[in-house]
Amino acid sequence: MLKDFFIGLSQNQFLNSAAKKYGLKMGAQHVVAGTNIAETIESIKELNRHGISCTVDNLGEFVFEKEEALAAKEQILAVVEAIHENEVDAHISLKPSQLGLDIDYDFCKSNIQEIVAAAHKYGIFVNFDMEDYGRLQPSFDLLDELSVDYDNIGTVIQAYFFRAEEDLHKHKNYRLRIVKGAYKEPAEYAYQDKATIDENYIKLIEWHLLNGKFTSIATHDHNVINHVKRFVKEHNISNDKFEFQMLYGFRKDMQLELAKEGYNFCTYVPFGQDWYGYFMRRLAERPQNMNLIVKQVFNK
């Protein structure tokens, strides 16, 4: 129920535009690294000091105008330059919809290509985040088409989709982030039951660790993390074949601990003014994240 409520809020365009005007509010500053690139680079440097690499996401949703997509492209290009100039250990995560996927496929492709080419020049990896079902196949198509010229790209497999296993096998030669899935998807395409999603999640991770290129295990679930630790040990999979990923601001102690134990660790660092939808999806995943709001109210 609460999940549906927050997912509903995340899709509310009026609240999304209102939130942009008022800066980081409602506790969002605990899970969003900054509103601009300079602040974000400082957050990355701090994580790097603890042996944690970063993937940087320029927040943005509901892009239906070409000007907005072009502005997002310029901002991401500026992040690529900032990563290079500051010599920080970071790469890019982008959302095809922010770069015009809902406007025109070829327009979006040319925007992403520009980013991928700029990042390629500096040896920076670019991850295509996966959004909801309607954008799944076009996002794979973008990836496959751009992979003809670039090898610095990869994407995400969402374990709640029935087709996830097939997509994983098809894309095993990419660096892949494997997640449970963050959107509300209909029973027509996606498992609804948490136990089934968790089971599929483990199955996909194990398969990619044994057969794939590089695996990013993106979860805050300690049971999954402990399972992966045992699995890699049993199968002699070396640490350079995988990493753990978590979102900025979540389970900070565990992030530091995993890096200290010698595992590759990467924090997903969102930044920007368009924080609203991202923040609401985090509340949907874990209503306890409401604590962030409550703390914020009482710490004023």
State the Cα–Cα distance between residues 76 and 37, nearest whole angstrom: 10
Place of tokens 């809902």: 102
- Residues 34-53 touching ligand FAD, rule: CB under 6 A, are none
Considering only 59, 94, 182, 228, the residue that binds ligand FAD (CB under 6 A) is 182
**How far, CA to CA in Å, does 224 sit from each of 155, 187, 207, 252?**
20, 24, 14, 17
State the Cα–Cα distance between residues 93 and 111, nearest whole angstrom: 14
Q: Which stretch binds ligand FAD (CB under 6 A): 22-30, 43-51, 75-83, 239-247?
A: 239-247
Q: Could you give the 3-state DSSP secondary structure of residue 239?
A: helix
Considering only 40, 245, 255, 264, the residue that binds ligand FAD (CB under 6 A) is 245
Considering only 181, 212, 270, 277, the residue that binds ligand FAD (CB under 6 A) is 181
Is-catalytic flag, 89? no
CB neighbour list of residue 277: distance below 8 Å, 6 or more residues apart: 10, 11, 16, 61, 62
Q: Could you give the 3-state DSSP secondary structure of residue 271?
A: strand
Q: Which stretch binds ligand FAD (CB under 6 A): 38-46, 101-109, 110-118, 241-249?
A: 241-249
Considering only 229, 241, 251, 252, the residue that binds ligand FAD (CB under 6 A) is 251
Nearer to ligand FAD, 173 or 226 (CB): 226
279 binds ligand FAD (CB under 6 A): no
Catalytic residue, from 102, 129, 167, 198: name it: 129
Is-catalytic flag, 177? yes
Considering only 6, 133, 174, 183, the residue that binds ligand FAD (CB under 6 A) is 183
Catalytic residue, from 175, 177, 281, 282: name it: 177
Does an H or E element contain 176, and which?
strand 175-179
- What secondary structure does DSSP assign to 242-279, as a single string? EEEEEETTSSHHHHHHHHHTT--EEEEEEESS--HHHH
State the Cα–Cα distance between residues 124 and 132, nearest whole angstrom: 26
Tell me which residues touch ligand FAD (CB under 6 A).
129-130, 156, 158, 179-183, 218-221, 245-247, 250-251, 268, 285-286
